[in-house]
Amino acid sequence: MIETKQQMKHALKSFRPDLVFYLSNSVSWLLLFFLPIEHALMFVVLVFALSGWALGTWPQPIISLGILLYLELVGISDFAQGLEGYAQSFVWLLVSTFIIASAFESTGLGRRIALSIFSIVKGNATASIGLVILALTILSFLIPTGAGRIAMILPVCVGLIEVVRKNGDNPAYAKSVLLGVTFTSSFMSFALITGSSSSVYAASTIQLMTGFDWNYLYWFIVNVPLALTMLLVLWLVLMWRYPIKLDHWSKGRAYIKEKLGEMGSVTINEKKLLTISLFMLAGWMTEPFHGYSVAMVAMFSAVLSCLPLFGVQQWKQASSAINWNIIILFGAAYALADAMQTNGTADWIAQGLVAYIPPQSPLLAAIVMLVLVTVFRLGFANMLGVTAVFLPLTISLAEALAINPVWLAQIVIITCSFGYFLPTQSPANLMTFALNRYSKADLFQVGIVLFIVTVPIMFLFAFFYWPLIGLSPYR
């Protein structure tokens, strides 16, 4: 057993991602001898995208821009056509979310909201785990970027962990808090259409390929009940896996009170930002009534936050918070999806899968996509990359099987958030794992339990709840 572990460690150390990247991209050209030329060339670009985004040999933006160049060089689509992805309104929704997240950071409103929620704890430490989950859930509605939400709440969580450590170290508490943050981030990434760049991209791609126009309220009705159920399961799993023997919570309450005291009274800028945020949220929820898109409402709110008199931050500060790497990736992912559709490769792959899946078999189709996406998701630190590859295929497969493509796409979108097993599967995993308060084994063990429990829950919602609100598995 010891020898096996040592051999595995040696194999991991000798693994060369750069060698795999160059070798896989070289070998991919051999597909020209086995596949129809138009599909072989598309696979060459797909291998470049998959290996580049997953292995990190080249910077992610270089891979993304390289995809745009590659598509024209192999004759699949024009470079100008690839750039059309950056003109989509959803790209500017992403830009707006980064600006809004910057406002929360500069004013401290996000941290105040988190502290205020934690101050509700009057009993034991176990209740505080539930409030960590609750705080991050509430922040998900106001701060539409995963990294922004975690940046607000993580310092508070670390402070609470330190208070517990100084008063008799309790490793179970630290593990519960940090794993709670990690998995809550995963669940909320699909719960809201603004929950992650992947959700924003998915809504955009579904509109491109099917003509179905998601709005904020309907996405909310479809996904939030499922996410809340998963969050309850998460809390129960954490309490079962890491029972906390720390009933006395006076030190924790004192810490929260101290930090709120340090922040002082609510500032004018915090009040302004809260007003802007509530206006933005109301605008998103009422989109079906007034007709202004989620992206436009977000952009209006972002601009408002930077204006003299009404605003809470300077443009120079806000613009520096925009993650242009994600924006570049988003546009390239959109171009890739468009190319797979117009080139016919997505339909061609789907026709190959149809031979093994009976028509109008939504459960079997969902299981096949669940397995494929979960396996590929192991190698991706950014769920947007794996969503970009599998969403066009999912929609084509659903249409070939006479299944509702929006329904099957939603299964895949949720599955893309299943970064439950490795620290490298998402930025949230990396941010909490870097604190060295839980191990890879802790993440994997809790992740496996959550996967086993939440997958059946997802299918129950998909087959029994979604049809009641108009999202049937059948066309």
CA 475/CA 465 separation, integer angstroms = 16
Same domain? 70 vs 83: no
pLDDT for 33 = 92
Start-to-end CA span in the chain (Å): 52
416 CA to centre of own chain = 8
Same domain? 49 vs 27: yes
Same domain? 150 vs 3: no
Domain end call among 26, 58, 76: 76
How many domains are contained in the chain? Answer: 2
Same domain? 335 vs 237: yes
pLDDT for 142 = 85
CA 124/CA 104 separation, integer angstroms = 30
Q: Are 194 and 200 in contact (CB under 8 A)?
A: yes
Report which of 141, 180, 140, 183 is spatially closest to residue 157, judged by C-alpha positions: 180
Q: Determine, yes or no, domain membership for 474.
A: no
Query: Which parts of the chain have pLDDT scores under 70?
Result: 1-15, 122-124, 166-169, 246-250, 380-382
Q: Who's near 73: CB < 8 A, 6+ residues apart? A: none
Q: Determine, yes or no, domain membership for 189.
A: yes
pLDDT for 247 = 54
**What letter would DSSP give residue 321?**
T
CA 330/CA 326 separation, integer angstroms = 6
Q: Determine, yes or no, domain membership for 186.
A: yes
CA 234/CA 223 separation, integer angstroms = 16
Domain end call among 58, 76, 94: 76
What are the φ and ψ backbone dihedral angles of 100, each rounded to 5 degrees? -65, -40
Same domain? 338 vs 323: yes
In one-letter notation, the amino acid at residue 253 is R
Report which of 198, 204, 196 is spatially closest to residue 338, judged by C-alpha positions: 204
Q: Determine, yes or no, domain membership for 208.
A: yes
Same domain? 221 vs 329: yes
Q: Are 60 and 53 in contact (CB under 8 A)?
A: yes
Give pLDDT tens digits for 274-310.
999 999 999 999 998 998 999 999 999 999 999 998 8
Q: Determine, yes or no, domain membership for 475.
A: no
pTM for this one? 0.86
CA 422, 426, 432, 433 torsion: positive or negative? positive
Same domain? 81 vs 71: no
pLDDT for 360 = 84
- For residues 109-128, one letter each, b for 16 or more C-beta atoms within 10 angstroms of the residue's C-beta and e for the rest, the string is bbbbbbbebbeebeeebbeb
Look at phi and psi of residue 357 and say left if phi exceeds 0, alpha if psi is from -120 to 50, else beta.
beta
pLDDT for 2 = 47
CA 426/CA 381 separation, integer angstroms = 5
Same domain? 64 vs 90: no
Same domain? 61 vs 121: no
Q: Determine, yes or no, domain membership for 302.
A: yes
Taking each helix axis from N to C end, the angle separating 383-400 and 324-343, rounded to the nearest 10 degrees, works out to: 20
348, containing H or E segment = helix 345-354
CA distances 70 to 1, 45, 73, 101, Å, are: 46, 7, 5, 34
Q: Determine, yes or no, domain membership for 194.
A: yes
**Could you list the residue range(s) of the whole structural domain that residue 415 is in?**
77-469
pLDDT for 146 = 76
pLDDT for 8 = 45
pLDDT for 365 = 93
Q: Determine, yes or no, domain membership for 117.
A: yes
Same domain? 67 vs 209: no
Q: Who's near 230: CB < 8 A, 6+ residues apart? A: 187, 450, 454, 457
Helices (H), 286-382: 287-290, 294-304, 315-320, 324-343, 345-354, 362-377
Same domain? 142 vs 50: no
Collapsing DSSP states into helix, strand and coil, what is residue 121?
A: coil
Q: Are 252 and 163 in contact (CB under 8 A)?
A: yes
Same domain? 349 vs 388: yes
Collapsing DSSP states into helix, strand and coil, what is residue 242?
A: coil
What tokens does 129 get?
Answer: 């785990």
Domain end call among 76, 100, 132: 76
Q: Are 279 and 298 in contact (CB under 8 A)?
A: no
